[in-house]
Amino acid sequence: MTQIPTYADVQDAAKQLKGMAVRTPLVEAHVMGAALGCRLFVKPEVLQRTGSFKFRGAYNRISRLDGAERKRGVVAYSSGNHAQGVAAAATLVGAPSVIVMPSDAPAIKVANTKALGGEVVPYDRFKENREEIGQRIASERGLTLVKPYDDPYVIAGQGTAGLELVEQAKELGAAPDIVVSPCGGGGLVAGCALAVKENLPNATVYGAEPAGLDDTARSLSFGQRVANNPKNTTICDALMAPMPGEITFEVNRKLLKAAIAVTDDEVLSAMKRAFLDLKLVVEPGGAVALAAVLSGKIDVKGKTVAVVCSGGNVDPAMFERALKAP
């Protein structure tokens, strides 16, 4: 694979993932769509193995390792969804996995990562650098580092969600005009954009990200990668990458129209709507694309719109907060 992934890499990843990843459905959101005056579809990656899309990229990367590499194992750093994806994919191919996770990651993500076979190494995200810890463990123990987004195999793997979205929309007689995907480091939206723009060249693809961590929005406007203020916070624990990836930004600056920032309150409201109207459990970071549409920040009137709900690993306490949202 070339450094910058292409549509062919997404197709190849789809072959690699066949029978391993869940082909999550594309669900029409009749009630929300009627309220918005558009035809609205949701791709619930919450139903993916490990509860988020991250399994796709992790498996596409880890299943390419040779026998000796698998035997030594893999290491990853992640706030929790990539952690679970890597642990599950590694266990499936018989490789040990070490996951560097923030000590304040949601309890459900830590517990699931361990249950899936991962060895969890906690770190203090306000004082330590996870990339450095990951690199050090990789060198010391001879492990392969599986990056959360800035890896062509990972991006191509995540793109299979977008490829399915396009295929499933066609099966349902629909061609999305607008596709919106959550965006942290940018791997999911980059992979999806590769699949969408190849099949629907006129479709507009947006990223969605938390207000205050809108590095992709600002990088796209600015024309080059800029970082987030590390002091800014969000309830979207899955979307706290410090800045766009080199590779992801190279794809996204060509294929995305823009990235839309949403507030924590808009995210909580979107989680509640997903509960009420879709019967889906969506975590804060997984709900930003839906929030971008529901908040009216994207003009969807009369359009066919598809949004990715990218993960559902949320603790009960945070979900109760969402249930109390307006």
**Interacting residues toward its own copies by CB under 8 A:** 19, 22-25, 27-28, 30-31, 44, 46-47, 49, 51, 108, 112, 115, 173, 272, 275-282, 312-313, 316, 319-320, 323-324
Q: Residue holding tokens 């794809």? A: 251
CA–CA distance, 41 with 172 (Å, rounded to integer): 10
Rounded to a whole number of angstroms, the minimum distance from the CB of residue 275 to its own copies is 6
User: Is the CB of 31 or the CB of 227 nearer to its own copies?
Assistant: 31
Q: In terms of Cα–Cα distance, which of 255, 216, 200, 241 is closest to 5?
A: 255
Nearest alpha carbon to residue 111 among 316, 264, 279? 316
At 256, give phi and psi (nearest 5°). Answer: -90, 145
Instruction: Output 52 or 199, the one with its CB closest to its own copies.
Output: 52
**Minimum distance of its own copies from residue 320's CB (angstroms):** 6
Which CB, 47 or 258, lies closer to its own copies? 47
Least distance (Å) from its own copies to the CB of residue 25?
4
Closest approach, Cβ 272 to its own copies, in A, equals: 8
Comparing CB distances to its own copies, the nearer of 115 and 227 is 115
CB of 49 to its own copies, least distance (A): 6
* CA atoms of 144 and 154, how far apart (whole Å): 14
| CB of 33 or CB of 148, closer to its own copies | 33
Amino acid at 28: E
User: For 274, which DSSP code?
Assistant: I
| CB nearer its own copies, residue 140 or residue 320 | 320
Taking the complex as a whole, the smallest distance from the CB of residue 216 to its own copies amounts, in Å, to 25
- Minimum Å gap between C-beta 181 and its own copies is 18
CA–CA dist 284, 268 (Å, integer): 7
Largest Cα–Cα distance in the chain?
A: 56
Asked whether the beta carbons of 50 and 56 are under 8 A apart, the reply is no
Is residue 208 classed as helix, strand or coil in its secondary structure?
Answer: strand
Cβ pair 24, 44 in contact under 8 A: yes
Nearer to its own copies, 127 or 279 (CB): 279
Q: Are 240 and 185 in contact (CB under 8 A)?
A: no
How near is the Cβ of 241 to its own copies at its closest, in Å? 23
* Whole-angstrom distance, CA of residue 138 vs CA of residue 130: 12
Distance CA 192, CA 166 (A): 9
Distances (CA, A) of 208 to 30, 290, 308, 309: 22, 9, 10, 11
If the CB atoms of residues 260 and 294 are measured against its own copies, the closer one turns out to be 294
